[in-house]
Chains A and B, each alone.
Chain A
Amino acid sequence: MRGPRLKFMVGGAVVLAALVWLGFVGFQESKAYYITVNEYATMHNQLQGKTVKVAGDVVQGSIDRGKIPMEFVISSQGQELRVRYVGKDVVPDTFKDGSQALVEGVVSQAGVFQASHIEAKCASKYEAEYAKKTK
Chain B
Amino acid sequence: MSEFGNFCLLLALVLTLYALFASLLGAWRKQHRIVRSAERAVMAACGSITLATGSMLYLLITSDFSVSQVWEATSHALPIFYKIAALWGAHNGSLLLWVFITSIFTGVVVYQNRFRYRDMMPYVIAVLMVNLAFFLSLNLFLSNPFNHVVQVGADGSMLGAPAEGRGLNPLLQYWAMVIHPPILYLGFIGFVVPFAFAMAALISRQLGDAWIRTTRRWTLLTWLFLGTGLILGAKWAYVVLGWGGYWGWDPVENSSLMPWLVGTAFLHSVIIQERKGMLKVGNMILVIMCYLLGVFGTFITRSGVVSSVHAFADSSLGKYFLLYIGTIAVCGLFLIIDRLPYLKSDRQLDSVLSRESAFLFNNMMLVVACFAVLWGTMFPVLSEWLQGNKITVGPPFFNRINIPIGLLLLLLTGVGPLFAWRKTSIESLKKAFFLPGVFAIATLAVLLAAGMRNFYTLMCLTLAVFVTVTIFEEFYKAARIRAKSNGENFLIALTRLTLKNKRRYGGYVVHFGIVLIFVGLSGNAFNQEASQTMAPGDTMKIGDYALKLTDYREADTPNYVYGVTYLDAYKDGKFLRTMKPEKRFYKTSEGQSTTEVSIRSTPKEDLYTVFNGLTDDGRYEIKAHVNPLVFWVWFGAAIMVFGALITLLPDRGGAFATPQVSMNLSVPMEESVKEQ
Contact = CB atoms under 8 A, between A and B. Distances in A.
Most chain-B CB neighbours within 10 Å: which of A19, A23, A90?
A90
A53 B594 contact: no
B641 interface: no
Given A19-B405, A32-B391, A90-B243, A124 B350 contact: no
A135 B148 contact: yes
Contact of B68 (A5, A27, A30, A132): A132
B166 A26 contact: no
Most chain-B CB neighbours within 10 Å: which of A18, A26, A65?
A26
Contact of A122 (B169, B389, B396): B169
Contact of A22 (B380, B404, B613): B404
A83 to B, nearest CB: 17
A4 B593 CA distance: 60
Interface in A7-34: 7-8, 11-12, 15-16, 18-19, 22-23, 25-27, 29-34
Contact of B400 (A2, A26, A121): A26
A5 B400 CA distance: 28
A60 to B, nearest CB: 11
Contacts of B349: 2, 4-5, 8
Contacts of B351: 4
A102 interface: yes
B307 A2 contact: no
Given A92-B243, A135-B6, A4 B400 contact: no
A35 interface: yes
A126 to B, nearest CB: 7
Nearest to A102: B307
A5 B349 CA distance: 6
Contacts of B595: 90, 93
Contact of B352 (A7, A15, A34): A7
B59 to A, nearest CB: 13
Given A4-B352, A8-B352, A90-B623, A23 B3 contact: no
Contacts of B68: 132
Interface string B335-353: 0000000000000111110
B400 A34 contact: no
Given A8-B352, A8-B361, A132 B149 contact: yes
Most chain-B CB neighbours within 10 Å: which of A23, A35, A98, A134?
A23
A19 B368 CA distance: 9
B393 A30 contact: yes
B2 A34 contact: no
A33 B393 CA distance: 9
Interface in B349-366: 349-352, 354, 357, 360-361, 364-365
A86 interface: no
A11 B380 CA distance: 32
A29 to B, nearest CB: 4
Interface string B595-633: 100000000000000101101100000010000000000
A41 interface: no
Contacts of A130: 71, 149-152, 162
Contacts of A110: none
Given A4-B357, A131-B152, A26 B396 contact: yes
B62 interface: no
Nearest to A12: B364
Contacts of B79: none
Interface in B361-384: 361, 364-365, 368, 372, 375, 380
B364 to A, nearest CB: 6
B397 A135 contact: no
Given A30-B393, A122-B169, A135 B311 contact: no
Most chain-B CB neighbours within 10 Å: which of A33, A34, A53, A55?
A34
A30 B350 CA distance: 42
30 contacts: A2-B348, A2-B349, A4-B348, A4-B352, A8-B349, A15-B365, A19-B401, A19-B405, A22-B401, A23-B372, A23-B397, A26-B398, A30-B393, A30-B396, A31-B393, A31-B394, A33-B389, A33-B392, A65-B615, A92-B243, A93-B595, A94-B309, A96-B593, A119-B309, A121-B311, A126-B166, A130-B151, A132-B147, A135-B3, A135-B144
Given A11-B361, A26-B400, 7 more contacts: A19-B401, A33-B390, A33-B391, A132-B147, A132-B149, A133-B148, A135-B144
Interface of A: 2, 4-5, 7-8, 11-12, 15-16, 18-19, 22-23, 25-27, 29-35, 53, 55, 65-66, 88-94, 96, 98, 102, 119-124, 126, 129-135
